[in-house]
A and B are shown apart, each in its own frame.
Chain A
């Protein structure tokens, strides 16, 4: 019976790789919502999840990375992200564009990834801020400078941890593909 479910080594490695990405995403989401969102003192809430989404998409390319980005953005949206529906469109498109940009013009190294992650997180956060400012205003314009920008910058603090992990996971099964 089980011979029909035989998987090749490459397929196993693929499953392992995407399971590890999934685990990393889940841990980041938990860290973001359980620990960081309730950090006392600072009123700014960093969001390392969009940074991770961009990081993985850049490593995996716009196609496979794009599917991952859509899934993760949906997960974040359903997990309670504010204006999560907006992020479902903005994050995957931003992440895919980053992957294309890094492959065509830049490199897959840390600095270009960090720049792309910063840009995508900033665009996503800015659009949400714009909606909060236009729809019955629940934020003050000065909050852009004293809350949003520091929040986006703080979100990148975790990239030095995320990037090497993603880099190592992305190498799983690479030899078989060559």
Chain B
């Protein structure tokens, strides 16, 4: 065995450790790592081509085996559900909620103050512990870190956390790294929404710091409260469960994310908005 441990092999092992240290130090010093930017920029055309191929293959498969009509019907039904939910909310008896919901709903159609850039998703982070993806638009299209990504229905997808010239990484709401100030639309309770992976509920969001006496109903809609980062009234998710947290002095709610991240192909980055 010893003859295989040549000086070169040992040298390569030391080099690997040295490079790991160097990458770590560089990442700490600089937010925009040059190596990462170079590789991501070079990979973007390949990823774009590959994701387009995958998307088209998926569409062809659906066309042959699932029929295009089913896809169209599904899209129409989703739109109809969205419109019905909007109607239900509008019919709420409380004037205060009504007024606010009227302001918050409609999003892109009603909020002319939103400036958005559309982008296709080209790859996903390959870690089971992180929920993030890369889009094929970057600083060249006016995108910057800290901008919010939404769907066409105004559902929050995530936040731009890394940027290159022709690519950007978006960390989704499912990731535990994000904490979003949020409100239960029907009652006005405030809390902080974050990914629930750390608590063993993968694929769900968790709304923390809710008042002990709060009354939470299933399917209640949770919206962003509004900050310098997140515009007010974007849809985060729907309550599926609630309980007291470990301390017993506050409640938490588990939410189903409003955006269907599994079938997400395209997102819209809000590049400018007027904070209300």
Contact assessment for A143 and B125 in the assembled complex, using a CB-CB cutoff below 8 Å? no
Inter-chain CA distance A104–B9, complex, in Å, is 14
The 7 closest A-B pairs by CB, nearest first: A37-B124, A78-B39, A89-B20, A82-B127, A66-B12, A33-B123, A138-B176
A108 within 8 A of B: no
**In the complex, given contacts A34-B124, A79-B39, A96-B9, what are 20 additional A-B residue pairs having Cβ atoms less than 8 angstroms apart?**
A34-B51, A34-B122, A34-B123, A40-B263, A44-B128, A45-B126, A49-B126, A63-B12, A70-B15, A74-B19, A81-B125, A82-B127, A88-B16, A89-B19, A93-B16, A138-B195, A138-B198, A139-B198, A140-B197, A143-B200
Sorting the interface of chain A by its residue count into under 10, 10 to 19, 20 to 34 or 35 or more gives 35 or more
Taking a contact as CB atoms closer than 8 A, the residue among A32, A129, A138, A151 that contacts B177 in the complex is: A138
Interface of B is mostly: helix
Given contacts A37-B126, A86-B20, A148-B128, contact A62 B9 (CB under 8 A): yes
> What is the interface of chain B, defined by CB distance below 8 A to chain A?
1, 4-6, 8-9, 12-13, 15-17, 19-21, 23-24, 27, 33, 35-36, 38-40, 43, 46-47, 50-51, 54, 121-130, 132-134, 169, 176-177, 195, 197-200, 202-203, 262-263
B-facing mask of A154-167, CB < 8 A → 1, else 0? Answer: 00000000000000
Inter-chain CA distance A15–B262, complex, in Å, is 41
Contacts of A29 in B (CB 8 A): 43
Name the distance in Å between A127's Cβ and chain B's nearest Cβ: 11
Choose among A36, A96, A99 the residue with the greatest number of B CB atoms under 10 Å from its CB: A96
A38 within 8 A of B: yes
Inter-chain CA distance A38–B60, complex, in Å, is 18
B-facing mask of A63-79, CB < 8 A → 1, else 0? Answer: 10011011001110111
A11 within 8 A of B: no
Inter-chain CA distance A40–B132, complex, in Å, is 15
Given contacts A43-B203, A81-B126, A104-B4, contact A34 B50 (CB under 8 A): yes
Interface of A is mostly: helix
Inter-chain CA distance A99–B124, complex, in Å, is 31
Inter-chain CA distance A137–B200, complex, in Å, is 11
Name the distance in Å between B69's Cβ and chain A's nearest Cβ: 21
Contacts of A26 in B (CB 8 A): 46
Contact assessment for A38 and B200 in the assembled complex, using a CB-CB cutoff below 8 Å? no
Given contacts A73-B16, A80-B169, A138-B177, contact A128 B127 (CB under 8 A): yes
Inter-chain CA distance A138–B12, complex, in Å, is 33
Contacts of A132 in B (CB 8 A): 129
Contact assessment for A88 and B20 in the assembled complex, using a CB-CB cutoff below 8 Å? yes
Name the distance in Å between A103's Cβ and chain B's nearest Cβ: 6
Contacts of A143 in B (CB 8 A): 128-129, 197, 200, 202
Given contacts A40-B263, A147-B202, contact A89 B17 (CB under 8 A): yes
Give B262's nearest chain A residue, CB to CB: A40
Give B130's nearest chain A residue, CB to CB: A82
